[in-house]
Structure 1
């Protein structure tokens, strides 16, 4: 295959590039400081290798994957591998296992630059805020819920899990690449600059909370989804213009944030159809 000339084989644990990659993967802080993120597995690789506008730094491939049909089909279609601009590194499976963070490594591992929002927040369209959600599985689930329900702008507080971490990428199944991602401060600045009234929606047991299925969710607004333990933070509760209550059986105390976000976003989706 033509792209194989661009591959470099790594045969030793003492290889400097391998040691550097392992060190980067040792913590999310190390990755963030490097300006890179890392995604592992065929599903995420298929998204990344065929997605325009993503800067890929390197692709790490275990030897056993190299000639499997699922990889051959993917790589044969990928300009990223054929143009020679990206470093493609092949490792024996035993070496790749030292790089991988999975119990059963599959490969490939791709280092890439996180994708920044390409435009300013548009408050004429829906926004979801992740307000201190720290569990990577919940963050990934919420991002996936947003994409599925047609909410493509997501703001993330500093106290939430990093949306480009390996665990969030796996939980979100690559939803990040379909979203415009912003910081909480960018959302606050947009709200401050906005002239008209914007609905800010929170789920709460506020005395004036409205049953979800009776609330008017058709106008654009901001959904605020709070942390697993504390719920929506007090500053956002104070800003809220719509307090919404999810009706449910009395046999369970509450839903987790992943489930409650799905219920709310899809009720909005239903109302807008």
Structure 2
């Protein structure tokens, strides 16, 4: 099936729209200020194009991708192309490489408006806080862990990596789109107005810490995971009602935050099955 009539061809590196897109992608700060995010690759495209209510601003397609079966058979493609507000731009592979941040650009590149949480935080359900996690790979891994372990609410501190950056999107494999994402401030407000005490769980070597496999994780609560270097901030350590220790052999000092979050969240998942 051909969709060529829906495409706008870009022939020159001097094209103003292409130059603007390249400039936007040059920094997360600029992209974030524009109110847009960008996702690259067929997996993320398939996820994005299937989501109801997501505003797609533009789709950039390298020429070599146009006739590949995996692109032409993408089930949601026709819906996007029939929407007159979405611009589909085709450019040579050489021009597309100016957009891509991948060593081997694949396309497509989709600019879209980040998806905001659709409801207030529900403290009757679990929520994970990413406390100052700056590494994009770790943030993406944590988002995937949350989604896989059935935690649908995630809050991020201001010092964590931007959840819609290209590196976090790739590491999270689109997990962002299935989660309710909040700021740390939203979580603090929800906790301050809670009518009952909400468990706040941190992993630590506190003298009164409980072995993870002996901890009762059947009640919904807040998990706080801190950065690789600093760990959980003192402010959240002070708020913690449950200090949890992950048992492990003495051959290694500690687990990284991606691994420790997976161990904790899946032990919780196991206890509730």
Mark yes or no: TM-score above 0.5: yes
Are the structure 2 counterparts of residues 75 and 65 from structure 1 closer, same or farther at C-alpha, using a change threshold of 3 Å? farther
Q: Please report how far the alpha carbon of residue 85 of structure 1 lies from its aligned counterpart in structure 2 after TM superposition.
A: 2.2
Residues 245-265 of structure 1, C-alpha deviations (whole Å, 9 max, x = no match): 000010000000000000000
Partner of 1:38, secondary structure, is: strand
Partner of 1:230, secondary structure, is: coil
In the alignment, structure 1 segments of 5+ residues that lack a partner are none
Q: Which residue of 1 aligns with 2:171?
A: 171
Are the structure 2 counterparts of residues 246 and 189 from structure 1 closer, same or farther at C-alpha, using a change threshold of 3 Å? same
Q: Which residue of 1 aligns with 2:118?
A: 118
Q: Which residue of 1 aligns with 2:33?
A: 33
Q: Residues 9 and 91 of structure 2 are in contact (CA less than 8 Å); yes or no, is this contact kept in structure 1? A: yes
Q: Residues 3 and 84 of structure 1 are in contact (CA less than 8 Å); yes or no, is this contact kept in structure 2? A: no
Q: Which residue of 2 aligns with 1:53?
A: 53
Q: Give the distance between the partners of 1:58 and 1:20, measured in 2 at CA.
A: 13
Q: Give the distance between the partners of 2:130 and 2:244, measured in 1 at CA.
A: 17
Q: Indicate the larger mover: 80-89 or 235-244.
A: 80-89
1:136 aligns with 2:126: no
Partner of 2:119, secondary structure, is: coil
Q: Which residue of 1 aligns with 2:108?
A: 108
Q: Residues 3 and 83 of structure 1 are in contact (CA less than 8 Å); yes or no, is this contact kept in structure 2? A: no
Q: Please report how far the alpha carbon of residue 75 of structure 1 lies from its aligned counterpart in structure 2 after TM superposition.
A: 5.8
Are the structure 2 counterparts of residues 11 and 110 from structure 1 closer, same or farther at C-alpha, using a change threshold of 3 Å? same
In the alignment, structure 2 segments of 5+ residues that lack a partner are none
Partner of 1:247, secondary structure, is: coil
Q: Give the distance between the partners of 1:124 and 1:162, measured in 2 at CA.
A: 26
After the TM superposition, which residues 79-118 of structure 1 pair with which residues of structure 2 at under 5 Å, given as runs? 79-118=79-118
TM-score (norm 2): 0.98
Q: Give the distance between the partners of 1:5 and 1:146, measured in 2 at CA.
A: 41
Q: Give the distance between the partners of 2:62 and 2:208, measured in 1 at CA.
A: 57
Q: Give the distance between the partners of 1:7 and 1:147, measured in 2 at CA.
A: 35
Q: Give the distance between the partners of 1:17 and 1:83, measured in 2 at CA.
A: 20
Q: Please report how far the alpha carbon of residue 33 of structure 1 lies from its aligned counterpart in structure 2 after TM superposition.
A: 0.3
Q: Which residue of 1 aligns with 2:9?
A: 9
Residues 55-85 of structure 1, C-alpha deviations (whole Å, 9 max, x = no match): 0000000000000000000166541122332
Q: Give the distance between the partners of 1:3 and 1:154, measured in 2 at CA.
A: 38
After the TM superposition, which residues 1-273 of structure 1 pair with which residues of structure 2 at under 5 Å, given as runs? 1=1, 3-74=3-74, 77-273=77-273
Q: Residues 75 and 81 of structure 1 are in contact (CA less than 8 Å); yes or no, is this contact kept in structure 2? A: no
TM-score (norm 1): 0.98
Q: Please report how far the alpha carbon of residue 49 of structure 1 lies from its aligned counterpart in structure 2 after TM superposition.
A: 1.0
Q: Residues 35 and 113 of structure 2 are in contact (CA less than 8 Å); yes or no, is this contact kept in structure 1? A: yes
Q: Give the distance between the partners of 1:85 and 1:29, measured in 2 at CA.
A: 25
Residues 138-174 of structure 1, C-alpha deviations (whole Å, 9 max, x = no match): 0000000000000000000000000000000000000
Q: Residues 7 and 90 of structure 2 are in contact (CA less than 8 Å); yes or no, is this contact kept in structure 1? A: yes
